[in-house]
Amino acid sequence: MTAQPNPAAHCILFTVVLAIGFWKPLFDLARFSFEDDLYSHTLLVPFISFYLIWIRRHALPTKIRSSVLAALAPLLAGAVVLGGYGFLVFKGWTGTQLDYLSATLFSFYLFWVAGGLVVCGSGFMRAIAFPAGFLVLMVPFPSAVTYGIETFFQHTSGDAASVLFGSTGMPVFREGLVFHLPGIAIEVAKECSGIHSTLVLFVTSLLAGHLFLRSPWKKVALALAVIPLGIMRNGIRIFTISWLCVHVDPAMIDSPIHHRGGPIFFVLSLGPFLALLFVLRKSEGWRKKLASVPAEAPTKRS
């Protein structure tokens, strides 16, 4: 009697072989994650994905049903990404390290999805859909996308701070991203965009939605709520530092609360985030209770 192939074992073996083929960009990502705070989370992503698969290991399919047709789309997409990047480099384009890591690792991810559909089976990949999708977060954004996100939060955070200035009556003259306050002018720099804290909170929202919520639209709502929360947090941070500079000491602009106070404001933003998660989870409980209440029997009239 022949032993049935194990999809999980096949998936692990295929992942190791593919990782060996992409060892250089994977090694460069590990080194880059220690140098850049924005992508310091990337090394944790594969371990989180593996853990999410591990806790559901007894519910995973035990038979392999390969889907070559479904694998063609990610396979071709990965080849286009990798070939396109190589072609641009060959033509003399000098991208940043972010662009190199983004292109090579995104193609690695697409090849992994394609190989998983063939080697592990479509049923297995469907069963690990969230951990497999979550794994894409190990891929850094291209430099243009990173710049766009930073610019968005930079300007919207300035807008939020401007609203706070106006609501408190603090005299201020705004000139783009520069706020002229009594005795000091403060510029909302790219470092004030809070993109790192927002990205960490976004990753947290995806995990929390997957673990604690059932409704797809509530999971999406929790993830999208990170954007206004990030803007609000940055606006409060800019306003707080500005208020301290005006009413306490202009030297507060070089104080630890400015340069190393990010984690403090991040913790403060967790309050409304957890409150929203609590409300969304409770609403699912209420809906479940309502669904379990039997309908009243019709009243018989004599």
Give residue-wise pLDDT tens across range 118-156: 999 999 999 999 999 999 999 999 999 999 999 999 999
Q: Is the pLDDT of residue 302 over 50?
A: no
For residue 4, pLDDT over 80 is answered with no
CA dihedral angle for residue 114, residue 118, residue 122, residue 127, rounded to 10 degrees: -70
pTM: 0.87
CA distance 54 to 75: 26
Quickly count helices (H) and strands (E) in the chain.
13, 3
Q: How many alpha carbons lie under 13 Å from residue 96 in its C-beta half-sphere?
A: 12
Distance CA 213, CA 137 (A): 20
Quick check: 285 pLDDT over 80?
Answer: no
Highest mean pLDDT among 8-12, 98-102, 165-169: 98-102
The domain ranges of the chain are 7-140, 145-286
Task: Identify each DSSP E strand in the chain by its residue range.
Answer: 173-175, 178-181, 184-187
Chain segment 52-87, per-residue pLDDT in tens = 999 988 888 888 888 889 999 999 999 999 999 999
288 exposure class (CB count in 10 Å sphere: 0-12, 13-18, 19+): exposed
Residue 295: φ, ψ to 5°: -70, 145
How high is the pLDDT of residue 199? 92
Mean pLDDT of 88-95: 91
Give me the mean pLDDT over the 167-186 stretch. 88
pLDDT of residue 257: 74
In the predicted model, what is the mean pLDDT of residues 106-127? Answer: 94
Of 235, 234, 222, nearest to 272 by C-alpha is 222
Written as one letter, the residue type at 227 is I
> pLDDT at position 1, please?
43
